[in-house]
Amino acid sequence: MTLDAKDFVGRQRSPGWERKLAHDLRLLPEAERLQFVTDFLDIHFLVALDLGRRCLSDRKSLESLLELELGLQEADPSVIQYWLKCVLPGLGARRLVQCLSRHLKQYPQAVESALYWLPGLLTKSDLSKIDLTRLRQMA
């Protein structure tokens, strides 16, 4: 089975087809899922990120998704929170902060935007385990 993101152009959001698409995506190999989600970002941005959160299981895939041009490279402060919500469950707080740390010099504005949203997305337990203050000072 091959899925093409272009087949979904113009569709209104609906739990029915989104659930079916997530099911179909989970039947594909991880690399094909990541490619579909990446292609789907230009068609249905929020649905693509939701599918990434629900269907991508490899941490490397989630890191790749976060590192995409629309994620960290352009780092629109108004949408970075959606990228974080997508990758946080699969990466975990520590790994997400490590990923942000690695990109601090290359994308300082993006990391700063992510740090703004991150405390509201993390649990108290996660916040006690990581040092966002140090990362903020480096930014």
What is the 3-class SS of the chain, one letter each residue?
CCCCHHHHCCCCCCHHHHHHHHHHHHCCCHHHHHHHHHHHCCCCHHHHHHHHHHHCCCHHHHHHHHHCHHHHHCCCCCCHHHHHHHHHHHHCHHHHHHHHHHCCCCCHHHHHHHHHHHHHHCCHHHHHHCCHHHHHHHC
Is 65 contained in some domain? yes
Is 40 contained in some domain? yes
Residue 68 — very low, low, confident or very high, per pLDDT cuts 50/70/90? confident
pLDDT average, residue stretch 71-77: 64
Is 20 contained in some domain? yes
- What is the domain count for the chain? 1
Percent of the chain with pLDDT over 70: 94
Q: pLDDT by residue (tens digit) across 100-126? A: 998 888 888 888 889 999 999 999 998
Enclosing domain of residue 117: 13-138
Is 37 contained in some domain? yes
Is 73 contained in some domain? yes
pLDDT average, residue stretch 18-47: 95
Is 3 contained in some domain? no
**Is the pLDDT higher at 138 or at 63?**
63
Is 95 contained in some domain? yes
**Is the pLDDT higher at 136 or at 89?**
89
